[in-house]
A = this chain, B = another copy of it.
Amino acid sequence: MTIEEKLDEIRDQVVEEVPNQVEITNVDFEGPEVVIYTRDPREFAQNGDMVRELAKKLQKRVTVRPDSNVLSDPEKADKKIKEIVPDDAGITGIYFDSEFGEATVEAHKPGLVIGKYGSTLREITKHIGWSIEVIRTPPIESKIIESLREYNRSHSEERKKILKRIGKEIHRDPSSKEEWVRTTFLGGSREVGRSSYLLSTPNSKILIDCGVKPGSNSDGTPYLYVPEVTPIDDLDAVVLTHSHLDHSGLIPLLYKYGYDGPVYCTAPTRDLMALLQLDYIDIAARDDRKVPYNSKMVREVVKHAITLEYGEVTDISPDIKLTLHNAGHILGSSMAHFHVGEGLYNVTFTGDFNFGKSRLFDSASRDFPRVETLITESTYGGSKDYQPSRKEAENKLKKAVQNTINRGGKALIPAFAVGRSQEVMLVLEEQIRHNKIDEVPVYLDGMIWDATAIHTAYPEYLNEKIKSRIFHKEKNPFLADIFKKVDSQQMREKVMEGDPCVILSTSGMLSGGPILEYLRYLGPEKENSLTFVGYQAEGTLGRRIEKGWDEVSLPGSNEKTNSVKINLNVNSIEGFSGHSDRKDLVKFIRKMKSNPERILTIHGDEQKCIDLASTLYKKFHVDTRAPKNLETIRFL
């Protein structure tokens, strides 16, 4: 069937389903969605069930848009919206996108724009014709989010074209009637870094993640040039599980090499990814290292991103449906579940996940209706990889900081900007609020502030407890007075010369970033402290200090590398990890709603992957294996 025939068929089904008076002017595929254009958007707005019923009947995601003829003048519409919505809502911006017939209302209190059971929203629609999207004004101003949103708005015509093209690709007829499913391991197998996997069927090629191996040189890229992947524009889709560079770092490269399809991920993953990729380019430029792409390619990724919410079942190719599930690792992190064919086969990639407790997130989802093959991370898959409890870790952190304050020193904490920093912020905020630590300022330097802002812009991705606090400005822990953003060299110097405090700064392994400047100044003095809250990889400066070196040279090639005496107090605290430890990895599999018949272990040192595969075989009597990079395993 041609695309046109398919659309005609869908249009007939839609017309049959909606009341007679509702005029349907067009039906089209845009990305994975069926978009229905109508002269009567009010009818749909007033009857929320209608869209739900249609989606169910069509087995597709359905969006209704007003026909361009019924859109009122944006200036008038803007006025009308402000008239209807109560002032308390705190509208900070209204943006009209005529390409998508959509008005975006950004407000401090989205609930008041929507109204009880959507009453306010319906009222607006009745008057202005436009569909309304209501989004939260980030409680902390975020330049990256603003600029990404602005970028996509100003490219909406191009985005629409892209989505239509992708829509046609997804809904093409399958070319083969064979049935097989296989996965090629391109990076991140028996190692941590450069995660990348190709899921393929006779009709589809899906790339899952495309990361760098931080700290490595020429061999730090996945095996993207092997024939399974090339030509790269044959890929149907890229799915990104989360934003960390070891999963996302080389996605821009795909666009440089001719890929022009979608990247599926959650909205926060898209924003954090862009933040981290741009930072990656900056840092590399500063260190005179080569980055294989520039910021233009990052914008291409953003332009092609199709954001999904957890649980949304989405067609991404003629025979594959994708659903993202909460992974509990960092903001927006997902497990990617692939359903092949009509009930033919199910594969789940866990991505990085945390089945244990954390302050920010619910623990990872285990409610997959069916999983035949599970591909799980193994970061802490070794037989001795048990992490101390969170309580223990938090106690240790409290002591390390308080002791420093008692000595009149400054507590330096290097941390990854995304994830670990926010966890530590929450711990410090609580302990200071409860007077377990003296009230001292907590300075945030590097990208931490931006990353935190993105967290507050997507509270629906946090757990209930933290979400409800963010919704109340006075309780939002990230807005606590103790947190101070360091935004100039002048301020940085003041902090270093000032009173006892905590300094949270990037990078997490001391391989670059402002942390080095703090170390140069604070390192020689005994009263200060340096507290590691994350894994220090072999070969990094962090690792050397952890090992007890008392004099180190600082990296960074632009300035003379000079030597620093390490006299400050050094601590390492385990237990803040965003990964499941050995116990939780096993527990997760035991508790899965559907028992997989095959488990593959990846994303861990070679011995840990092998060890975990062997343990899982013994415990669950299913086929397990620790694949190698460049291998292809057939599932069906």
Interface string of A620-636 (1 = CB under 8 A from B): 00000000111111100
Contact call A630/B630, Cβ cutoff below 8 A: no
Give which listed residue, B180, B230, B633, contacts A227 with CB less than 8 A.
B230
Chain A residues 204 to 234 lying within 8 A of chain B, measured CB to CB, are: 205, 219, 226-230, 234
**Bound-complex Cα distance A631 to B600 (A):** 15
Is A182 interfacial (CB-CB < 8 Å)?
yes
DSSP majority for the A interface?
Answer: loop
Is A38 interfacial (CB-CB < 8 Å)?
no
Give which listed residue, B178, B229, B633, contacts A631 with CB less than 8 A.
B633
Contact call B634/A631, Cβ cutoff below 8 A: yes
Is A373 interfacial (CB-CB < 8 Å)?
no
Give which listed residue, B180, B229, B230, B630, contacts A632 with CB less than 8 A.
B630
Contact call A630/B227, Cβ cutoff below 8 A: no
Is A184 interfacial (CB-CB < 8 Å)?
yes
Report the minimum CB–CB distance from A248 to chain B (whole Å): 24
**Bound-complex Cα distance A629 to B178 (A):** 13
The residue of chain B having its C-beta at the shortest distance from the C-beta of A198 within the complex is B227
With a cutoff of 8 Å between Cβ atoms, the chain B residues found around residue A182 in the complex are 630-631
The residue of chain B having its C-beta at the shortest distance from the C-beta of A633 within the complex is B631
With a cutoff of 8 Å between Cβ atoms, the chain B residues found around residue A205 in the complex are 227
With a cutoff of 8 Å between Cβ atoms, the chain B residues found around residue A634 in the complex are 628-631
Report the minimum CB–CB distance from A203 to chain B (whole Å): 12
**Bound-complex Cα distance A346 to B424 (A):** 52
**Bound-complex Cα distance A234 to B231 (A):** 14
Chain A residues 587 to 636 lying within 8 A of chain B, measured CB to CB, are: 628-634
The residue of chain B having its C-beta at the shortest distance from the C-beta of A629 within the complex is B634
**Bound-complex Cα distance A631 to B634 (A):** 6
With a cutoff of 8 Å between Cβ atoms, the chain B residues found around residue A178 in the complex are 219
**Bound-complex Cα distance A250 to B125 (A):** 65
With a cutoff of 8 Å between Cβ atoms, the chain B residues found around residue A628 in the complex are 634
Which has the most chain B C-beta neighbours within 10 Å: A182, A227, A634? Answer: A227
Chain A residues 51 to 97 lying within 8 A of chain B, measured CB to CB, are: none
The residue of chain B having its C-beta at the shortest distance from the C-beta of A219 within the complex is B178
Report the minimum CB–CB distance from A179 to chain B (whole Å): 11
With a cutoff of 8 Å between Cβ atoms, the chain B residues found around residue A230 in the complex are 227
Contact call A630/B228, Cβ cutoff below 8 A: no
**Bound-complex Cα distance A182 to B229 (A):** 16
With a cutoff of 8 Å between Cβ atoms, the chain B residues found around residue A630 in the complex are 180, 182, 632, 634
The residue of chain B having its C-beta at the shortest distance from the C-beta of A177 within the complex is B218
**Bound-complex Cα distance A633 to B629 (A):** 10
Interface string of A178-201 (1 = CB under 8 A from B): 101010100000000000000000
Interface residues of A (CB under 8 A from B): 178, 180, 182, 184, 205, 219, 226-230, 234, 628-634
6 sampled A-B residue pairs with Cβ under 8 A: A205-B227, A226-B228, A227-B234, A628-B634, A630-B632, A630-B634
Sample of 10 further A-B pairs with CB below 8 A, known A182-B630, A182-B631, A631-B633: A178-B219, A205-B227, A227-B227, A227-B228, A628-B634, A629-B634, A630-B632, A631-B631, A631-B632, A631-B634
